[in-house]
Structure 1
C-alpha cells in the first residue's frame, strides 16, 4: 500500500516528526521495506545483476546494530497478491515502470531495479542470525499494524500507509533510522539508534485537533494503492477545499495540506463522506460511497494472527481463501516461515505469476524464457493437487469457498477452460505482456502428491528435480553439497539460454562460485589471515576485481548481462522448485553464489588474455574445486555437442566431427576420465555449440 505524495509531504514538514533514541525495545519491522531500503541506499550494484555478498554483509550489520542497542526485532514479509485483485492494476503499472527503469539502467542511465535474489539472500541471513521472521499469506501492512498495537511497540518501515494507521507506539520511518551511526551514540543507559518517530495524535493536533478517525478517509480521497485513482481524482476536483496558508512544496503537497484542513472541520468520517459525496451528481454517489467505505475498512485494526505464530508457531487457516485453507500443514508452515515462495499462493488462488524485471538486453526475449520449463513443473505440482481437491470437494458437496475467491477454476476468464494453465506477466520488448503457460505433468507426478510431498522418498524427489534440470546424477559426485544445485542450474542454463554462452562466460561464472566458496571457508575459519594463506592470496586477488575501478560506472556488456540474467532466472526458479520438493538438493547460500561486479570483471579479464589458472594462483583446493566444476560442465557439453551435430547438415556434421577429432585431450565415447581437458579443447567445444547462434546487439 501507499498514500500518494504523503512521504515527500512529511519530508517537507519534519516538524511532524519527533527525535528519538531507540534502545531496549521491541520493534516490528516491515521486511520488504527494509531490504529495499538497505539495497538502494547503500550504492550496491544493480546493473550487473547484484552483489549478494555485499548485501548479506549489510543485512548482518543492521541486525547486529539492533542487538547492540538491546532492540528485539520481529520481521514481517509480504506474501502473495491480494486475492480480491484490488491492487492488481497498481502492481501491473509498477511492473511496467520497472521495465522502463531496467532499460534505462542497461543503457547507463538511472533507475532502480532490485536484483532477483535479494529477498532470498535477506531471508537466509535472518535465519542464520535467528531473527524471528514470518511471511504473511498476502500483503503484510495490516498484519504489521495490528501486531504492533497488540504488543504496544513501534513499526519500522518506509510505507506511507503507516502515517494513517492509528498506532499506539508510533511509526519510525526508515529514512530517519540512523542505524549506521549507532557506534557514535552512547549514553549512560548504553548504545542507542537516533531516529524520528511519527504519532497520529500529535499529527492531528497540528490540524485543529482533527479526529484521527478522519485520516483513513483522507488516504482514500487523496489516493492509495487500493482505490480507483481516476474516480477519487474526480471526487477530489469537486470538493471545495480551503486555500492552504503554508508553502509546503509541490502542487500535490498543497492538495494534501488543503484536504487535511478541510477534513478538520468535521467530527467524524461519516459527516465528511456525506459532504464529499454531496459534490457529485446523484448517479455517481452510490459507486463512490462503496469505494470510500471499502477503503476505510483497510485501516480498521483488530487482533493479528501473527502473535500466535511468533509465540507457538500456530498457522491459522480460518481467514485464508480457498484452496489455501485446505493446504497440508507442512506447506502452510513453510509459507509462513518464508521457506516457500509467495508464488505458491498466487498460483493456487489466482493461477497467476508476476515475474520480476532484470537488467538485460530488452531487444531479446525475457531472461525468464530460459527457466520456463522449471516453472512449468512447479505449476504442475500445485495445480494437479488443486484440480484433484476441486473434484473431491465437488463430489462430496463440501464447497465452502469464500465469495470472490474462486478456486475450482482460474480466476481470469481466459483460464476458465484450462485448470492446468497459469497467466504469467513478463517483459516483451519494453512492454508488460500476459502469456498463458501450460503446467507440466511429468510421469513421476503421480508418485509426488503435493499433500504428502514431504514424505516422498528422497531419491524420487531428487530424480524429478534432476530430470527437470537435464542433469545426470553422476555429474555431482565430485561437487560440494553447497554447489550441487548451482551446478545443475548452470547445466540447464547452458542448454536453454539464448544466445548460447561462450566458454569465457562459463569460466567467469564458475570462478565466481569458487570465490564464494573461498569467502565461505574464510568466514567459517574466522581465524587470522596466516591460518589459510593460500585462501587469503586468491581472495585478495579476486577482491580486486570485485571492487574494480577501471570501468566507468553504468556501462555494461549488455549481452553478458543478458546471459547472466538468464542464469539468475534459472537459479531463482530452481530454488523455488527445490524448496517445494523439500530440498532434495541442499539449499545453496545465495550470498556466496553470484557477485555481478566480480563476474562481469572476470569476463573482461579473460577476454583480455588472463587465464583462470592465473586468477586462482596457488590455492590447490580452489583449483581442484574449479577443475571439478569445469569437468562436470565439460561432460555436459559432450552430450549437447552430439545433439547439435545430429541436427546440422551432413556437410557441417562432417566438418564438426573432424574438428572434434583433432582436439587434444578428447576422449572416445564411453571412455571414463577424471582429467579436465585443456582450455583450448573446451573453448573449441563451446565454439562449436555457439557457432550458429546470433548474439543480439546492445
Structure 2
C-alpha cells in the first residue's frame, strides 16, 4: 500500500511534521519488506550482476546488532501472498511492468532498482540465525503491522506512506530518518540510542487547521493509493479550485496533495466530506460512488491484533481469511513461520504466479523459462494435492483432464517477461512421474525416500550427489546439473567453472577463511581467499554486464529459487542451503573474465588442499550428471570419455572421512 506522492510531499516540507527522538529501551514493530528493500537499495550493493548476498547478510546483521546495543526489541512482519480480493493486482502488474524496463536499463549500464532474486530468502535466513522474532503474514502486512503496534503501544519502522494515514498510538518512524548506523550515547546514563524522527498524525493534522484525523483515510483514497488510481478522481480535481495552498509546491502532485488536505479540513468528519465529493461529481462519473469511497476508507480502520499471541506464546494465528483458513495446519504453520514461501499461497488461492524480473538479456526468452519444469511439479503437488480447496473456490475453469490417467490437472496463470512486456500465460501443472497422488494434507508425513525421489527426479539427477558432498551443498549442486542440461542457450565451460569457484569461495567465507576463522588454519586457505576476493567486479567497474553471462546466471538463480521452494514444500529432503554464501554476482562475473584470460580453477586454488579438493569434489559430482567431456578444453575433448568417473572413489573416500563435518564442528565450537 502507499499514497502516491505523500512521502516526498512530507519530506519536502522538512521537519515540521516530526519530532527528534533518541530511540532506546523499547519495542519496535518493523515492516520486514520495507527493511530489506531499504537496506539493499541504500547501501550500494550490486544489482547488475545478480546481487551480492554475503554483503547483504552482513548488513542485516549489523542492523539488528545496532538495535540490540540500544535495547530495542524488534518484531518483524513480512508480506505474504498476493491480495486474494484482487483489488491490488492492477497495481502489482503495473509495478512489474516498470521493473522490466528498469532491469533492461541496468543490463545496458543505465539506472534502475532491481532487487536480486534471492534477497527475501537471504533476509529470512539471517533472521532465523539471529533469533529475531518474525512472522510471514498470509496477505499484505501493512494492516497487521499497524494493529500490532497499536496493541503494544509502540512505534512502527517502515517506509510505506500509508503509515502517515494510520492512526498509530506510538507513531511512525520513517526509514529515511532512522540513523541506525549513527548510534549515539546519552551523557548522563551512558545508554546507547538511535537518532530517529517521529511522526504522529496529531501533529500533522494541526498543520491543516487541526483537521479531524478521521478524514485522512478519505484523503488517501482521493489522492490515490494502491487500491485506487490517481486518475480516478481527475474530474473532481478539475471541478474544484483550492483556495488555500500553504506554500509553493515543486510538483503538480504536491500541489494537489496540499490543496486537498486544506479543502478536507473544512469538514467536521468523513461523511460530510464524502457527501461534498459526491455532490461535486454528480452523475457524471458513476464509477465513483459512496461504496467505492467507503470501502477504501475501511482499509485504514484498525482493530485488535491477531498476531500478539503468536509472538508472546507461539499460538497459531486465528481469524485467517476464508480462502486460506482450511489449509492443512502444517502448511499454515510453515507459511507463518516463513519456512514455506508465500508464493505457494498465490498458487493455491488464485492459481496465479507473478515471477520476479531479473537483470538479463531481454532479447532472449525470460530466464524463468529454464525453471519452468520445476514450477510445473510444484504446481502439481499443490493443486492436485489440494482439490477440495480449489473446488470450493470456483477453480474448475482452469482444470483439464489427463487423457492417460483420467486425473484432473490444473493450470496456473503465470505472469512473466516476454520481450519488454509483462504477459500472462497458462502453465500446466505436472505430477511427478511414477509417484501416486500426494495429498497436501499429509505431504509432511510422506516417507523421506519418496520426497527425496520427487525432488531428484524433478532435477534429473541421481542420489550420488546427495551423498558425495557436504549436505548443505547438495541442493545447489543438483540445481547446477539441472541448469547445465536444461538452459537455452547452454552455459559454456568458463561460466560453469566460475560458478563452481563461487560456491567454493562462498564456503570458505562461511567457514571464516577470509578472516581468522578455523578454515584459515588449513594451509594456504587465507591466501586463496585473498586471491579469489580480488576477482570481484569493483563498484567503479560496474557498467553494463556481459549479457550472455548475466542471462546464464539469472537462469541458474531462477532454478535455485524454484528448487528451494520445491524442497521446502517437500519438507526439506535435502538440507536447505545458506543462500548468502552460494552466489556473489560480482565474483562470478569477475571470475568469468579471469577464465577468459586462460586462468584455470587449479591456478586460482593453488596452494591450499582443502578448497582445491572441494572444487574437485563438486566438479566430479557435476560431471557425473553432465558428462566429463563438458569439462575438457575444446582441444582435448574426445568422444570416448572412459576416464569420466576417475576420482569418484577418491571423492567418496574423502567425503566419508568427515573432513567437512569436522571443519563445521570446529566453527560451531569456536
Q: Can you list the C-alpha shifts for 1:332-369, whole angstroms capped at 9, x where unaligned? A: 01000111111111011110000000000000000000
Contact 1:538–1:619 (CA<8 Å) still a contact in 2? yes
Q: Can you list the C-alpha shifts for 1:571-599, whole angstroms capped at 9, x where unaligned? A: 00000000000000000000010000001
For 1:271 and 1:631, the matched residues in 2 are separated by: 74
1:226 and 2:201 are equivalent in the alignment:
no
Contact 2:629–2:644 (CA<8 Å) still a contact in 1? no
Taking the TM superposition and a 5 Å limit, the aligned residue runs for 1:188-207 are 188-207=189-208
Q: How far is 1:496 from its partner?
A: 1.0
Q: How far is 1:165 from its partner?
A: 0.2
TM-score (norm 1): 0.88
In the other structure, the counterpart of 2:122 is: 121
1:90 and 2:91 are equivalent in the alignment:
yes
Q: How far is 1:313 from its partner?
A: 2.5
Judged with a 3 Å threshold, the aligned counterparts in structure 2 of structure 1 residues 581 and 190 are, in CA distance, closer, same or farther, namely: same
Judged with a 3 Å threshold, the aligned counterparts in structure 2 of structure 1 residues 494 and 527 are, in CA distance, closer, same or farther, namely: closer
For 1:523 and 1:71, the matched residues in 2 are separated by: 32
Taking the TM superposition and a 5 Å limit, the aligned residue runs for 1:124-135 are 124-135=125-136
Contact 1:172–1:197 (CA<8 Å) still a contact in 2? yes
Say which SS state the counterpart of residue 546 (structure 1) adopts: coil
For 1:468 and 1:640, the matched residues in 2 are separated by: 24
Taking the TM superposition and a 5 Å limit, the aligned residue runs for 1:447-458 are 448-458=438-448
Contact 1:221–1:235 (CA<8 Å) still a contact in 2? no
For 1:188 and 1:264, the matched residues in 2 are separated by: 43
In the other structure, the counterpart of 1:363 is: 363
For 1:293 and 1:671, the matched residues in 2 are separated by: 72
Say which SS state the counterpart of residue 629 (structure 1) adopts: helix
For 1:446 and 1:229, the matched residues in 2 are separated by: 51
For 2:507 and 2:186, the matched residues in 1 are separated by: 36
For 1:256 and 1:355, the matched residues in 2 are separated by: 34
In the other structure, the counterpart of 1:589 is: 578
Q: Can you list the C-alpha shifts for 1:390-413, whole angstroms capped at 9, x where unaligned? A: 56xxxxxxx6xxxxxx35436899
Judged with a 3 Å threshold, the aligned counterparts in structure 2 of structure 1 residues 186 and 539 are, in CA distance, closer, same or farther, namely: farther
For 2:126 and 2:510, the matched residues in 1 are separated by: 13
Q: Can you list the C-alpha shifts for 1:449-508, whole angstroms capped at 9, x where unaligned? A: 211111111111001100000001123332111100000000111111111011111110
Deviates more, 1:123-132 or 1:437-446: 437-446
In the other structure, the counterpart of 1:566 is: 555
For 1:436 and 1:569, the matched residues in 2 are separated by: 19
2:638 is matched with which residue: 652, 656, 660?
660
Judged with a 3 Å threshold, the aligned counterparts in structure 2 of structure 1 residues 186 and 505 are, in CA distance, closer, same or farther, namely: farther
Contact 1:217–1:296 (CA<8 Å) still a contact in 2? yes
For 1:449 and 1:524, the matched residues in 2 are separated by: 46
Q: How far is 1:282 from its partner?
A: 2.6
Judged with a 3 Å threshold, the aligned counterparts in structure 2 of structure 1 residues 185 and 96 are, in CA distance, closer, same or farther, namely: farther
Judged with a 3 Å threshold, the aligned counterparts in structure 2 of structure 1 residues 187 and 134 are, in CA distance, closer, same or farther, namely: farther
In the other structure, the counterpart of 1:497 is: 487
Say which SS state the counterpart of residue 181 (structure 1) adopts: coil
Taking the TM superposition and a 5 Å limit, the aligned residue runs for 1:384-423 are 384-389=384-389, 406-409=393-396, 420-423=410-413
Q: Which runs of 5+ in 2 are unaligned?
A: 401-406, 652-670
Q: How far is 1:633 from its partner?
A: 1.4
Q: How far is 1:318 from its partner?
A: 3.7
Contact 1:514–1:626 (CA<8 Å) still a contact in 2? yes
For 1:468 and 1:255, the matched residues in 2 are separated by: 54
In the other structure, the counterpart of 1:18 is: 19
1:609 is matched with which residue: 598, 610, 618?
598
In the other structure, the counterpart of 1:636 is: 625
For 1:80 and 1:437, the matched residues in 2 are separated by: 19
In the other structure, the counterpart of 1:336 is: 336
Deviates more, 1:167-176 or 1:324-333: 324-333
For 1:315 and 1:234, the matched residues in 2 are separated by: 47
Contact 1:80–1:138 (CA<8 Å) still a contact in 2? yes
Taking the TM superposition and a 5 Å limit, the aligned residue runs for 1:104-503 are 104-182=105-183, 188-282=189-283, 284=285, 287-322=288-323, 324-389=324-389, 406-409=393-396, 420-446=410-436, 448-503=438-493
Say which SS state the counterpart of residue 534 (structure 2) adopts: helix
Judged with a 3 Å threshold, the aligned counterparts in structure 2 of structure 1 residues 418 and 528 are, in CA distance, closer, same or farther, namely: closer
Contact 1:321–1:349 (CA<8 Å) still a contact in 2? no
Contact 1:13–1:248 (CA<8 Å) still a contact in 2? no
For 2:245 and 2:160, the matched residues in 1 are separated by: 25
Contact 2:49–2:586 (CA<8 Å) still a contact in 1? yes
Contact 2:349–2:390 (CA<8 Å) still a contact in 1? no
TM-score (norm 2): 0.91
Say which SS state the counterpart of residue 535 (structure 2) adopts: helix
For 1:574 and 1:600, the matched residues in 2 are separated by: 23
Q: How far is 1:444 from its partner?
A: 4.6
Q: How far is 1:157 from its partner?
A: 0.1
Judged with a 3 Å threshold, the aligned counterparts in structure 2 of structure 1 residues 659 and 285 are, in CA distance, closer, same or farther, namely: closer
Contact 1:164–1:200 (CA<8 Å) still a contact in 2? yes
Deviates more, 1:307-316 or 1:589-598: 307-316
1:515 and 2:505 are equivalent in the alignment:
yes
Say which SS state the counterpart of residue 578 (structure 1) adopts: helix
Q: How far is 1:247 from its partner?
A: 1.8
Q: Can you list the C-alpha shifts for 1:257-283, whole angstroms capped at 9, x where unaligned? A: 111111110100000110111111236
Contact 1:351–1:410 (CA<8 Å) still a contact in 2? no
Contact 2:144–2:305 (CA<8 Å) still a contact in 1? yes
Q: Which runs of 5+ in 1 are unaligned?
A: 392-398, 400-405, 642-655, 677-698
- Count, aligned residues: 641
For 1:439 and 1:585, the matched residues in 2 are separated by: 23
Q: How far is 1:187 from its partner?
A: 5.6
Contact 1:350–1:410 (CA<8 Å) still a contact in 2? no
Say which SS state the counterpart of residue 325 (structure 1) adopts: coil
Judged with a 3 Å threshold, the aligned counterparts in structure 2 of structure 1 residues 563 and 669 are, in CA distance, closer, same or farther, namely: closer
Say which SS state the counterpart of residue 347 (structure 2) adopts: helix
Say which SS state the counterpart of residue 425 (structure 1) adopts: strand
For 1:70 and 1:482, the matched residues in 2 are separated by: 34
For 1:487 and 1:193, the matched residues in 2 are separated by: 43
For 1:153 and 1:412, the matched residues in 2 are separated by: 47
Deviates more, 1:518-527 or 1:271-280: 518-527
